């Protein structure tokens, strides 16, 4: 339950920052805002101030800013979204993804420059931590154990161990372990985790903080690398299907693991999710910010807007398809977690 609550808080924070970007840009452009909502579905809490409704809704995996001009009823409002110059509307829509990119840079900076990057304490395959409820814990591995061999294959470095474990999901392995100067043998069976073996151990690490300018540069570079990684992943979907796509259940699992590994890991994962949320929203798929930007760019090229009812219908269909995709991916993630 604690992992679920933490995941809701992390994802809710990332989504809130995204919608806050739209909200601030809309207010800056003097667009009338009716509502700022975190989540979809029935309203569970909220208040109203200066004519704007602020609400929290039942389903936290989303959010929206409802502006004047998005429905025909108030399309003639001089402060509606549709009455603003094209550049202002482009700025309002782009502000959400930009906010998430800025947040990613800030979170990565906190990791590199404040909390500290976790680096290997040494180059041996020495266990620093064992996660509860994992194959490593079931096998009896302990912090401080040094793994010398796996199935008789010598292990010299931590990367040697990661390579062997990752390549053998579901295979029972004999681990030769040095514990307090004594050699013992343990059996462990790595779990399947996104097609790779997962044992549930982490290396011995130490915290390394970088100077502010170095940390800022690394944060920018890492955010750019996240963009490339997302694009590569999207291309891979066309070849491998949805096998590498993770839904809310999978993300919850990742957040839980990151929190157990320490604050730096949790901040790093939150930064990666924020960057990917920004870039995913820029994809020109109906219902995403990228699609709305595409319609605005098309308006600039044509010199006149696309019929609003037609555009709304495209976004509605796109939203329905995205919800269907989320259901499919969530079902697959749950099925994957069922033992056997």
Residues classed as catalytic: 19
The DSSP line for 36-51 is EEEEEEEEEEEEEETT
Give the C-alpha separation, 112 to 127, whole Å. Answer: 23
Residue of 332, 315, 316, 338 lying closest to 248 (CA atoms): 332
Q: Under a CB-based contact definition with an 8 Å cutoff, are residues 210 and 264 in contact?
A: no
Q: Rounded to whole angstroms, what are the CA distances from 159 to 35, 145, 155, 175, 268?
A: 50, 16, 9, 16, 21
41 sits in the region (left: phi over 0; alpha: psi -120 to 50; else beta) called left
Integer Cα distance of 322 and 138 in angstroms: 39
Residues across the chain: 340
Closest CA to 42 of 54, 51, 55, 61: 55
Dist. CA 70–CA 62, nearest whole Å: 18
Q: Which uninterrupted H or E stretch holds 321?
A: helix 308-337
| Residue 266: closest CA among 110, 142, 129 | 110
d(CA 212, CA 53): 39
Cα 241 from Cα 320, distance rounded (Å): 20
Helix or strand or coil: residue 195?
coil
Residue 129 has φ and ψ, to the nearest 5°, of -155, 145
Those residues whose C-beta lies under 8 Å from the C-beta of residue 287, and which sit 6 or more positions away, are: 315, 316, 318, 319, 321, 322
């Amino acid at each position: 339950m604690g992992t679920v609550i933490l995941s809701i808080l992390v994802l809710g924070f990332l989504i809130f920052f995204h919608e806050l970007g739209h909200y601030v840009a809309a207010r800056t452009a003097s667009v009338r805002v009716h509502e700022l909502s975190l989540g979809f579905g029935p309203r569970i809490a909220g208040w109203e101030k200066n004519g704007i409704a602020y609400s929290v809704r039942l389903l936290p995996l989303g959010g929206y800013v409802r502006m004047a001009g998005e429905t025909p009823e108030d399309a003639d409002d001089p402060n509606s979204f549709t009455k603003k110059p094209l550049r202002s509307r482009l700025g309002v829509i782009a502000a959400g993804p930009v906010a998430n990119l800025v947040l990613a840079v800030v979170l990565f900076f906190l990791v590199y420059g404040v909390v500290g990057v976790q680096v290997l304490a040494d180059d041996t395959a020495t266990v620093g931590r064992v996660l509860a409820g994992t194959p490593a814990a079931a096998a009896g591995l302990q912090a401080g154990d040094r793994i010398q061999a796996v199935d008789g294959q010598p292990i010299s470095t931590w990367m040697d161990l990661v390579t062997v474990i990752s390549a053998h999901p579901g295979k029972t392995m004999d681990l030769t372990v040095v514990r307090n100067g004594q050699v013992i043998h343990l059996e462990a069976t790595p779990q399947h985790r996104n097609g790779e073996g997962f044992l549930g151990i982490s290396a011995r690490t130490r915290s390394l903080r970088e100077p502010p300018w170095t940390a800022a540069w690394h944060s920018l570079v890492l955010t750019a690398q996240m963009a490339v990684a997302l694009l590569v992943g999207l291309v891979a979907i066309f070849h491998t299907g949805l096998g590498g796509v993770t839904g809310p259940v999978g993300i919850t699992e990742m957040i839980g693991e990151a929190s157990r590994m320490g604050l730096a890991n949790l901040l790093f994962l939150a930064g990666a999710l924020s960057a990917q949320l920004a870039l995913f929203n820029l994809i020109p798929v109906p219902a995403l910010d990228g699609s709305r930007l595409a319609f605005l760019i098309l308006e600039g090229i044509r010199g006149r807007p696309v019929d609003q009812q037609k555009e709304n219908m495209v976004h509605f269909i796109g939203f329905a398809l995205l919800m269907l995709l989320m259901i499919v991916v969530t079902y697959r993630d749950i099925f994957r977690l069922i033992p056997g």
